[in-house]
Amino acid sequence: MAKKVKLSNESSQKADEIIAFHGYSSLEELIGNLIDSEYEKIKSDDDKDEQAEKLSGLGYIS
């Protein structure tokens, strides 16, 4: 499922610098990596919320 994204010139230049600095092979690889990273943050936050609810229910935290 390929989608096109328009970037401003400033964002494009920043992306080029990130690609060069980290050694990504393409903009697509950079974007994919960023999406995966952000998705994992969301999921780990959800897991923390669930753990807090369980511990609260058990009386370990209030």
Asked if residue 42 belongs to a domain, the reply is yes
**Structural domain tally of the chain?**
1
pLDDT at site 60: 62
**Which domain range does residue 54 map to?**
25-62
CA–CA distances in Å: residue 41 to residues 26, 36, 53, 54: 23, 9, 18, 20
Asked if residue 49 belongs to a domain, the reply is yes
Mean pLDDT of the chain: 86
**pLDDT band for position 19 (50/70/90)?**
very high
Asked if residue 44 belongs to a domain, the reply is yes
Asked if residue 5 belongs to a domain, the reply is no
User: Residue 61: pLDDT above 70?
Assistant: no
Asked if residue 20 belongs to a domain, the reply is no
Asked if residue 15 belongs to a domain, the reply is no
pLDDT at site 7: 94
Asked if residue 17 belongs to a domain, the reply is no
pLDDT at site 1: 67
Read off the pTM: 0.66
**pLDDT band for position 62 (50/70/90)?**
low
Q: Say which amino acid occupies 18.
A: I
Residue in the block written with tokens 């401003």: 8
Residue in the block written with tokens 């370990």: 60
